[in-house]
A and B are shown apart, each in its own frame.
Chain A
Amino acid sequence: MTTATNWSIEGKNHERNFKSIMFLGLLWLSLFVAFLFLIILLVTTAMNGMGRYDMRLFTDYNNTTPADAGARAAILGSLFVVTVTAFMAIPIGIAAAVYLEEFADRTKWYNKLIELNIQNLAAVPAILYGMLTLGILTLLGLKNKNVVIGGSLALALLILPVVILTTREALRAVPQEIRDGSLALGATEVQTVTKQTLPAAIPGIATGTILAVSRAIGEAAPLLLLGALVFITYDPNGLFAGFTTMPIQIFSWTSAAQDEFKQLAAATSMLLLVILLSMNGVAIFIRNKFAKRW
């Protein structure tokens, strides 16, 4: 080479040219649109509920006179149904995930089939779980389908795939070295799971499970199918008692004629939102506080 090479590194900053800035601007705009609608929804709902943020929302049962109506039965119903749901879905979900992740031989066709099914089940529309539950309850000969155990069964089936998938994810995040170390000390595979892998995965499992349960709280479709859209004026008092939940009550009040009922629906929506947000908050807290870095 005879010509001198130009080693200069000066020039116009490529990060600051028109195209880059336009692209960034578009990204911000998309974010803004999504956020804007969320804010509008939140503010209008909050405004609509104005006047009904009182204790009677919590203490009174539903009533044909809007001024005397409250969401007590729905709040207690939601809590009851979701607790039973959690008791059904979480142990089964965790056990299934432990089997699939720690013990199943992935080369076997039936395990592959199960894997594929669970992935798909997580994407099945909620109403189908309502139909399935309806079918099961009919087979069992239950006349009144709107019972706590029925609703919980539908919701448990709904969140089961999510619980399994998130638990597997959490188990997979535990490094193989931990299992190897335990097994090399003469621990059995069961001991390795119960004393090492599962405890190490608990933060991840808890996070995923809380998110799954919060999904169950907000769900209305499968319960509507079971006939949960009824007028309940008592606390749910047993697994075979009739019930209503907050999303159903909101749905019912929103379709009522009087504006006062719509106001009540908005107030209950805000309450439901607060519950959901605090559950997600707890999930995020657990994730940040207990998540292990390997």
Chain B
Amino acid sequence: MTSEPQGLSRSMHLGASTRGETVHPIMELRNLDVYYGNFHAVRDISLDVGANQITAFIGPSGCGKSTVLRCLNRTNDLVPSARVTGVIDYRGQDLYASTVDPIEVRRRVGMVFQKPNPFPKSIFDNVAYGPRVTGMKLDKSSTADLVEHALNKAGLWSEVKDKLDQSGFALSGGQQQRLCIARAIATSPDILLMDEPCASLDPIATSLIEDLMLELVNDYTVVIVTHNMQQAARVSDRTAFFSARVDEAGQRYGHLVEMDQTSKIFTNPSDSRTEDYISGRFG
């Protein structure tokens, strides 16, 4: 767990209107641009991710929200042609500085994907994988403790505690997704990125994951990309609205329209485009 900022209280979630009012940024994006080869995909993104808050990225398809999310743990590096310019300040360090080890970044900034992707291993080994590969020196019993802790945090322990040696594939879709969350928690990350984590789940599984996010944000910072605007409204403290635009050369690119408190974005946005999108008039 991180030591700062203590001033944030989860009680803010009760009074929805005050949620996300203050921001203690843990990540500050400044003039972020992403290129794929010659294609300038995302342009000039500046926004703050508040510590121990849920930040939601919403917007129509192709607006670059997932691309920006993938910059936050440097998974875009794995696309050979991808190039990122601008600054992502993480606790006073530039995420893209040449002295930064991307592997170390990914250990601190975990990620949950759209499609649940458990490893073809036992439930136990799925959760223990992260700590094992990151070189945490753990004996048998402390590994077991860590696995139990992570599964507990992900709200899955009671459902799987008697079948830890079964394959992760044996679980339902929603359970698989919570297993992936447990797996990400096991390495004690600082920030959790979620790329449309409920897109392939039914409403019941979705509501479980949403409750879980509200739990997790006590210990972690959460950034979520979602196409489900009700979801963004329900869980997030702050919302960034991205949109796509076509430049003079005919290239379509993603940009940030506005970012604000979620309650403000959904009731009284500053930009008319946001209101059009939220009310379903475009996108």
Contact = CB atoms under 8 A, between A and B. Distances in A.
Interface stretch (A147-155, A174-182, A276-284): A174-182
B interface majority secondary structure: mixed
A195 interface: yes
A188 B107 CA distance: 11
Given A181-B180, A191-B133, A195-B133, A186 B107 contact: yes
Given A177-B113, A181-B180, A200-B120, A186 B75 contact: no
Interface residues of B, number: 24
Contacts of B183: 181, 185
Contact of B120 (A107, A178, A191): A178
A45 interface: no
B119 A183 contact: no
Query: Which of A177, A181, A183, A185 has its CB near the most chain B CB atoms (within 10 A)?
Result: A185
A interface majority secondary structure: helix
B60 interface: no
Interface in B106-136: 106-107, 110-111, 113, 115, 117-120, 129-130, 133-134
A196 interface: yes
A172 interface: no
A175 B133 contact: no
Contact of A186 (B80, B119, B134): B134
Contacts of B106: 183-186
Contact of B78 (A177, A183, A185, A199): A183
Nearest to B132: A195
A199 B111 CA distance: 23
A184 B197 CA distance: 15
A180 B113 contact: yes
Nearest to A184: B111
Kindly list the 7 A-B residue pairs having the minimum CB-CB distance in the complex, ordered from nearest.
Answer: A186-B107, A177-B117, A184-B111, A185-B130, A187-B133, A186-B106, A181-B117
Contacts of A183: 75, 78, 106
Contacts of B103: 186-188
Interface string B63-75: 0000000000101
Contacts of B110: 184-185
Interface of B: 73, 75, 78, 80, 103-104, 106-107, 110-111, 113, 115, 117-120, 129-130, 133-134, 180, 183-184, 187
B43 to A, nearest CB: 25
A146 to B, nearest CB: 46
18 contacts: A107-B80, A177-B117, A178-B117, A180-B75, A180-B113, A181-B113, A181-B119, A181-B180, A182-B133, A184-B110, A185-B129, A185-B134, A186-B130, A187-B103, A187-B130, A187-B133, A191-B133, A200-B120
Contacts of A182: 119, 129, 133
A207 B80 CA distance: 32
Interface residues of A, number: 20
Interface of A: 105, 107, 175, 177-178, 180-188, 191, 195-196, 199-200, 292
A177 B183 CA distance: 14
B80 A105 contact: yes
Query: Which of B75, B80, B106 has its CB near the most chain A CB atoms (within 10 A)?
Result: B106
A105 B79 CA distance: 11
B261 to A, nearest CB: 29
A292 B133 contact: no
Contacts of B115: 177
B36 to A, nearest CB: 13
B235 to A, nearest CB: 21
A168 B133 CA distance: 24
Contacts of A181: 113, 117-119, 180, 183
Contact of A185 (B80, B118, B184): B184
A180 B134 contact: no
Contact of B119 (A105, A178, A188, A191): A178
A175 B106 CA distance: 20
Contacts of B129: 182, 185, 187, 195
A292 B119 CA distance: 12
Contacts of A107: 80
A186 B129 CA distance: 10
B73 A184 contact: yes
A195 B78 CA distance: 18
Contacts of B118: 181
Given A178-B117, A180-B78, A187-B133, 6 more contacts: A180-B113, A182-B119, A184-B73, A184-B113, A185-B110, A186-B104
A188 B75 CA distance: 12
A186 B73 CA distance: 10
Nearest to B167: A292
A180 B111 CA distance: 9
Contacts of B134: 185-187
B107 to A, nearest CB: 3
Contacts of B119: 178, 181-182, 196
B117 A180 contact: yes
B160 to A, nearest CB: 18
